[in-house]
Amino acid sequence: MSRIPFTRLIGLENVPVRHAERLIALMGGVVGIAAVMWITPWLAPAGAVPLLVASMGASAVLVFGVPHVPLAQPWPLLGGHAISALVGITVGQWVADPLFAGPLAVGLAIGAMHYARCVHPPGGATALSAVASGPAVVALGYHYLWVPVMLNASIIFVAALLINAPFAWRRYPAALTRRERPGHDGAAKVAPMFSHEDIAYALRGMDVFVDVGEEELEYLFELARRHARGAALKSAQVEVGHIYSNGEFGERWQVREVLEIGGDGDQEQVIFKVLGGPERYTTGVMTRACFARWARHEVIYEGDTGWRKVGESEE
């Protein structure tokens, strides 16, 4: 059995984003929840209690932190909360004991969201809050659906529209995002690697919920294809002190630093140290020509953003 890296085992994020993107997400969460807390009292009927559902904090993580994932889109956001609230309220009307009502409400909400194609993780918390927030909330009955649940969710939705709008690459909903579409390299058209139908078929064949859309995958594949194109390294390009990657995937990926080059002509030998991937921190020797065939491109390490291809834009 192959060894699984610890970072992969714990699910450590390995797709770094720019600091600007993180800052926008941070500010979006602050402004979005502030809008919910400030606007809800103005729009809610006098004496309405409660005015805020805690699950809106989780929704803010999605619509401001990862606004393009399917779980964050308008139908999952609004439909997920609405269906979960309905389920939670109904369970609360029929099951008095919270120890039974809570698990039942969450489980039924998950199933209902799956069938309605609006899976939104914070919906589970919305269903739970309908039965576990005390007698005052249970007594609201189906009024709880409109205030605070749908009122809060609607404010989050409008805030996501407005806050993400100035940034063309992260506009919300995802359909409003402006990107150079796959299949175009400047003015030249290039046939896509896969068709839309191919990607949709692959997603269906996995038979699990995958939080990425077909268009996003198509764009991802096109970016990867463009990145992969490029001339192979020549022996003369392998230099002491430089770091190279083989560009492979998964456990085959490796990064090596050239420590020394000795010998003449075809007998030139490269002594290298493995910096990333299998056999990390070990050293090895091979001819300069073989090393050039192994290497895909030169890379540089940039801290929390990981390894980047030399000459590639930092953005």
Pick the more confident residue, 191 or 128.
128
Q: What pLDDT does 272 receive?
A: 96
What is the pTM assigned to this prediction?
0.67
Query: Rounded CA gap, 248 and 96, in Å?
Result: 57
Query: Rounded CA gap, 110 and 255, in Å?
Result: 43
Tell me which DSSP letter residue 233 carries.
P
The chain-wide mean pLDDT, for the chain, equals 85
In this structure, the answer to whether residues 207 and 305 fall within a common structural domain is: no
Give me the sign of the Cα torsion angle 40, 44, 48, 53. Answer: negative
Residue 184 has pLDDT above 50, yes or no: no
In this structure, the answer to whether residues 301 and 262 fall within a common structural domain is: yes
Tell me which DSSP letter residue 150 carries.
I
Domain presence at residue 179: no
Q: What pLDDT does 1 receive?
A: 45
Query: Rounded CA gap, 297 and 299, in Å?
Result: 6
Q: How does DSSP assign 26-50, residue by residue?
A: HHHHHHHHHHHHHHHHHHSPTT-S-
> What are the respective helix, strand and coil percentages of the chain, to the nearest 5?
55, 10, 35
The pLDDT tens digits for 109-168 are 999 999 999 999 999 999 999 999 988 898 899 999 999 999 999 999 999 999 999 998
Residue 42 has pLDDT above 60, yes or no: yes
Domain presence at residue 239: yes
Q: Which two tokens stand for residue 303?
A: 């801290």
Domain presence at residue 10: no
Percent of the chain with pLDDT over 90: 55
Q: What pLDDT does 190 receive?
A: 46
Q: What pLDDT does 116 receive?
A: 97
Residue 303 has pLDDT above 70, yes or no: yes
Pick the more confident residue, 56 or 297.
56
With vertex at residue 96, the alpha carbon angle to CA 94 and CA 101, rounded to the nearest 5 degrees, is 80
In this structure, the answer to whether residues 170 and 45 fall within a common structural domain is: yes
How many structural domains does the chain have? 3
Q: What pLDDT does 183 receive?
A: 47
The residue segments making up the domain with residue 280 are 235-309
Q: pLDDT tier at 32 (50, 70, 90 boundaries)?
A: very high
**Torsion from C-alpha of 271, 276, 281, 286, nearest 10 degrees:** -20
Domain presence at residue 107: yes
